[in-house]
Each structure stands twice: as structure tokens, then as C-alpha cells.
Amino acid sequence: MSESEVGIPPVLAAAWGLRERSGKGPRPGLTLERIVAAGVKVAASEGLGAVSMARVASELGVATMSLYRYVRAKDDLLDLMVDAAIGQPPPRQPGEDWRAGLTRFAHTYLALLRGQPWVVRVPIGTPPITPNQIAWMDHGLEIMRDTALAHHERLSAMMTISALTRNWALLTADIDAAARGGGISTEQAMAGYARLLKLLADPVRFPAVGDLIASGALDNPDEPADDDFEFGIARFLDGLEAHMTRRKDG
Amino acid sequence: MSESEVGIPPVLAAAWGLRERSGKGPRPGLTLERIVAAGVKVAASEGLGAVSMARVASELGVATMSLYRYVRAKDDLLDLMVDAAIGQPPPRQPGEDWRAGLTRFAHTYLALLRGQPWVVRVPIGTPPITPNQIAWMDHGLEIMRDTALAHHERLSAMMTISALTRNWALLTADIDAAARGGGISTEQAMAGYARLLKLLADPVRFPAVGDLIASGALDNPDEPADDDFEFGIARFLDGLEAHMTRRKDG
DNA sequence: AAGTTTATGCGTACGTTATACGCAGAAGTA
DNA sequence: TACTTCTGCGTATAACGTACGCATAAACTT
């Protein structure tokens, strides 16, 4: 306890409900919860780009600078908004084995991010440590409780699944946003991407991409099926399974 | 060719060198390449946050608005900067099997992103389509050429490996940035995170996280070993392998 | 009851940002 | 020589995050 006498960052104290009011001074007219909820509302209806301190304040009918009595900076607000948006993880299913559990985890998380596409656009600046993020992490680790995996391997598995899910949510959200921006359907936006690839990627210079295009893999608009996402998750789970049996047998 | 008569977006035309000069008018005093290089230089030395149109222009000794003759918006510049920063992929190793190839791909890509941490902080808005991104994609697909994977599976594999690599690069860059910001070492920053987790995550409310902490998995600072990253990639490759043999045998 | 302490709401101000607009001048073409 | 087209860029605008300080409200102290 010599040099590392650093306390808990204010945002985290707020997120974990550790803010002690001294009792003095005027009674607060706002709560962090209301501010965060207002931010989430703006983000949900108008996108993350519309979330400014002024916009959130006007949503609450207060002055912009009033928010700074509850939040040190906008980044803090964004972190709290993400925590509120992901909410609590679903309850553990009793008879579920680890593979079904992790698959369900990925699907639930993806659906959640799909419902609030702005969440994956919030720039990340720290490892996850807000209450609901920890709760989701706990949920995932719990699913792997009875496996042969080491603890750090479970953590790594959680990171992998989260990363793949977030990445897929971001990619599809980008495509959707481009589609909405151009007034076309998601399928048309996908087709537009395939067309661009054909136009720009010379098959002589990029033979493997040329093969990909020639294979027609990009032509069928099976986008809503999330095939690529499923494939990535399933292969990773295959790998986990192989790793476990290898450990048991070896 | 009825309604999809949309042309190539200007940024992409620029990135692929498809800009045709009419010959008229004053000779341009700048080139896109110089602008992009200036942006990369600023990002490399002062971080992505320091990259403003004004800052890049001053780096070149021109007025801010001059840049807009070459770039439609700042986002376009950022996209071109990313493309320039990742550069061309390494050459294919002759006798390398797909597994060794994809492993090397991941390591090379990670090293590249580590060397320019700002790259993973550029907000992504579209699927990858700039020349060097396509080149990397081609490189990855080429590695899988002789495998039993379907084309869309190869694409999915590329996406998975890229996502995991980018995610890991971002996470470690965040920790490094926090460390530098607090004037401490990366190991100390990691230890600080573990300490926060211990402080905030109640083992009764979060039993699995409690177990993780109790296991001591977070205490050993084996950060530079990139163990978690390696594990994720290795399990995915295990899964790919299992999938292939299953396909061959089935 | 009076004074002290501390917190709140917020008006004002500042520095930065991206970028729309339009003009002067350069280099071609007719 | 006239006309077209493109360049560099000065000016201006709207939006942004947030530092600062003041008036005031509530509780604690004496």
C-alpha cells in the first residue's frame, strides 16, 4: 500500500452506487439515473451523434452545465449509458450445457446490441468494469463453471465471444446505416458492396478475392441469417471442445 | 442496371487511383498521398485525437480548406490514413500450411496494429474496401486456398481473425494509454484493474467473477505474452480444423 | 438564532472543431 | 482573346465540450 493508493475513479463510484451525499447543500434536482436515461433515449431515437451535453440537458429541461454536477465529462456519461443499455444478463438456464449456454449467450448479446446499435459505436477506453458488464461477464463465466477450462481460459473465451459479437453487430449496423442513408434496403446495400468489390478488386492482382467473387458467395442476400457470425462462434466453440477433450485425455 | 446506377464513391476512386485530372486549371500543389502521409505522421506522433484538418494542413504548410480539394470530408481522410497505415501484407510463405499461415497472419497483423495504435481507434463506418484492406483479405484467403472450406467460410474466418486481432490490439492499447496517462507501467495498470475488480465485484453477487479473482488468474502480470489472444486464435483454428476433417470424413 | 460550510443550478465565456461559400488567379481550350 | 475549369484559401458559421464563478439552498456548528 505504498504507491498504489489510488482510489476508485468517480465514474465507477457512481456506476456502482457508491456516491455518499454529505447531506449539505441544496437538494439535487436531478439524478444520475435520469441523466443516463435521457442520454439513452436520445441515442436510441436519434443516434449516438445526436448525444451532446446540450441535447441531453434540454431533454431534461435543465441547463447544459448542470449535468457536470453529476458527471465529470461526456465520456463518463457514455460509459454509464452503455452500462444502462446492456442491462442485466438473462438468468442461467438450469439444464443447459456449456456449449448451448455460450451459444445462447452470443445470440442474446447480439440481439441486445442489434436493438441499440449505438452501443457498439461508443468508443471504448478501458477494460469493462461497470456493474452490468461485470454481470454479463459473470453470466458467461458461470456457464463455463463445470468445464475443464482454466480460469484465464474462461476469461479469454468470454473476450472472444464478446469481440465477435460486437464486431458482427457493428458491421451489420454499418451496412444498415448505409442502407438507410441511401434510402435502400439492407439487401441492396449488400449487393452494392459486392458490386463495388467486383468493380475495384482486379482478379489478377487479387486472385483469391477474384475466386471469392466468382464463387458467387457474395451474390445471395442471405444476410439476415447471420451465417458468418454463426460460423465464427461455432468454430470457436468447436475449438474449445477439442481443447477440453484433449486436456481430459492427455 | 435500372436503379443501381450509383457510381464509385469519391474516396474509393481516390484510394484506388481512379481520379482523372482534366488537365485544366492550376496545377495542384498537393497530392492526396502527401495529405494522407501528413495525417499519419500526426496520428503516429500525437495520437488520433490530434488529427484535425487544421493540424494536418499546418503540417503541410497550406491552409485548412485546401485539403477539401482532395478529400470530401475528414472521415474520408481517416479511411485513407488507415489504408496507408496497414500497407501491403507480407508475401505468402511457400511451404506453409493453412494453420501456420493464419497464425502468422494474426501475429503480423497484431504487430502492425501495435506499432500504430491509433489505427484501431478510427471509427469504422463501412465494410473494408480500400486497396490494402483488400490486399490483406486476399492474402488471408490465399492462405486457405487449398483447404476444404467453402468460400463464404473463408471469408468468415478472415473476419473472425481480424476481429479478434483488432479487439486485442485495442484492449492492450487502452491499457497502455491508461498506464502512460497515469505515469505508471503497463503491469501496474493491469494490477490496478485487478484491484478495482476485487474492490467492486462482490463475490456473492458475482460468484463466477469471485472465483476468477480467487484463482489468481489476474494477479500474474503475464501481459506481454498475449496469452489470451493466442488462446482465442488457437481455439478458433482448432475449430476450423475440426470442421474440415468432419467435412472430409462425413 | 446566527454564522459557517458545502453543494447545487446555471449564465457566461472560451477554445476547437468541421466545413459551406465565394473569390482571385492559374492553366488549359476554342 | 475569350471562355472554361480547377486551385488555394480567407472568411464565416454552427456546434461542440467544458472551465469558471456567482447566487442560493440546505444542513451543521455554536
The grid coordinates listed for B111 are: 504487430
pLDDT confidence band for A6 (50 / 70 / 90): low
Chain A positions touching B239 (Cβ under 8 A) are: 234-240, 242
Q: Which three cell numbers stand for residue A2?
A: 505504498
For range A139-150, the mean pLDDT: 97
Write the burial class of residue A5 (CB in 10 Å: 0-12 exposed, 13-18 middle, 19+ buried).
exposed
B68, B115 Cβ separation under 8 angstroms:
no
**Per residue in A177-204, pLDDT tens?**
999 988 898 888 888 899 999 999 999 9
The predicted model scores a pTM of 0.95
pLDDT band at A2, cuts 50/70/90?
A: very low
Lowest mean pLDDT among A9-18, A206-215, B72-81: A9-18
Q: Which ranges of chain B would DSSP assign to H, the alpha helix?
A: 10-15, 32-46, 53-60, 74-86, 98-115, 131-143, 151-182, 186-200, 207-215, 227-249
Amino acid A38 CA to nucleotide D13 C1' distance, rounded Å: 28
Q: What is the average per-residue pLDDT within A70-75?
A: 97
Confidence at B222, pLDDT banded by 50, 70, 90:
low
pLDDT in tens, A17-40: 888 888 899 999 999 999 999 999
Residue A91 falls inside a structural domain? no
Q: In this structure, are residues A243 and B239 in contact, taking their beta carbons and an 8 Å threshold?
A: no
Q: How far apart are CA A123 and CA B68, in angstroms?
A: 26
Backbone angles phi, psi at A38, to 5 degrees: -65, -40
* Band (B128; pLDDT cuts 50, 70, 90): very high
Whether the per-residue pLDDT at B5 is higher than 80: the answer is: no
pLDDT of residue A5: 35
Q: Is the pLDDT of residue B3 over 50?
A: no
Q: Is the residue at B196 inside a domain?
A: no
Is residue A38 located within the same domain as residue A161?
Answer: no
Q: How far apart are CA B234 and CA B212, in angstroms?
A: 22
The one-letter code for the residue type at B194 is A
The CA distance from A35 to A59, in Å, is: 9
Q: How far is CA B31 from CA B18, B35, B36, B66, in A?
A: 14, 6, 9, 11
Domain shared by B24 and B59, yes or no: yes
Tell whether B148 is within 8 A of chain A (Cβ): no
Is the CB of residue B141 less than 8 Å from the CB of residue A208? yes
Question: A158 and A241: one domain?
Answer: yes
Residue B115 lies in a domain: yes
d(CA A65, CA A56) in angstroms, rounded, equals 11
Within a domain: residue A194? no
CATH code of the domain containing B16: 1.10.10.60
Is A81 found in the same domain as A122? no
Q: Tell which of A24, A54, A86 closes a domain.
A: A86
Task: List the CATH number of the domain containing B175.
Answer: 1.10.357.10
- Give Cα separations from B216 to A131, A157, B42 (angstroms): 21, 17, 41
Residue B35's closest CA among B86, B80, B1?
B80
CB B161 within 8 A of CB B108: no
Does residue B114 fall inside a structural domain?
Answer: yes
Nearest 5°: CA angle at B168, between B162 and B170? 100
Q: Specify whether B49 is located in the same domain as B126.
A: no
Rounded to whole angstroms, the Cα distance separating A30 from A37 reads 12
- In a shared domain, residues A233 and A118: yes
pLDDT band at B223 (very low <50, low <70, confident <90, very high): low
**A3 pLDDT above the threshold of 50:** no
Is A146 near chain B, with CB under 8 Å? Answer: no
Contact criterion met (CB below 8 Å) for A70 and A52: no
Look at B200 and A170 and tell me if their CB atoms are within 8 Å. Answer: no
Where do runs of H (alpha helix) occur along chain A?
10-15, 32-46, 53-60, 74-86, 98-115, 131-143, 151-182, 186-200, 207-214, 227-249
Asked whether residue A51 falls in the same domain as residue A156, the answer is no
Quick one: cell of A232?
Answer: 465464427
Cα separation, B11 vs B76, in Å, equals 6
In a domain? residue B191: no
Q: Which of A55, A86, A117 is the last residue of a domain?
A: A86
pLDDT score for B2: 26
Alpha carbons B247 and A118: distance in angstroms, whole number: 39
Q: Are residues B36 and B120 located together in one domain of the fold? A: no
CA separation for the pair A245, A238 (Å, rounded): 11
Q: Does A110 lie in the same domain as A163?
A: yes
Residue written as cell 480444423? Answer: B241
DSSP state of B206: S
Q: What count of CB pairs under 8 Å joins A to B?
A: 211
A93-116: pLDDT as tens digits: 999 999 999 999 999 999 999 999
Interior CA angle at B85 toward A120 and B222, to 5°? 65
- Boundary-marking domain end, from A86, A117, A134: A86
Same-domain check for residues A16 and A59: yes
Q: How confident is the model at residue A248 (pLDDT cuts 50, 70, 90)?
A: confident
Nearest to B99 by CA among B45, B144, B155: B144
**What are the tens digits of pLDDT across the range B147-183?**
999 999 999 999 999 999 999 999 999 999 999 988 8
Say whether the CB atom of B26 is under 7 angstroms from strand C.
yes
Per the structure, how many domains does chain A have? 2
Do the chains contact at B127 and A16, CB–CB below 8 Å?
no
Q: Cβ of residue A21 near strand C, that is under 7 Å?
A: yes
- Examine residue A102 and state whether it is found in any structural domain, yes or no: yes
Q: Are residues B23 and B46 in the same domain?
A: yes
Query: For A32 and C9, how far is CA from C1' in angstroms?
Result: 15
Q: Is the CB of A183 under 7 A from strand C?
A: no
Q: Which of A1, A159, A219 is the best residue to mutate to test the B interface, defined by the most B CB atoms within 10 Å of its own CB?
A: A159
Give the integer Cα–Cα distance in Å for B244 and B97: 14
The percentage of residues in chain A with a pLDDT greater than 70, rounded to a whole number, is 96
Q: Which residue range(s) make up the domain with B59? A: 10-86
pLDDT tens for each residue of B191-213: 889 999 999 999 999 999 999 99
Max CA-CA distance within chain A? 74
User: Is residue B66 in some structural domain?
Assistant: yes
Residues contacting residue B17 through CB under 8 Å, at least 6 positions apart = none
Could you tell me if A68 lies within 8 Å of chain B, comparing CB atoms?
Answer: no
Could you tell me if A121 and A226 lie in one domain? yes
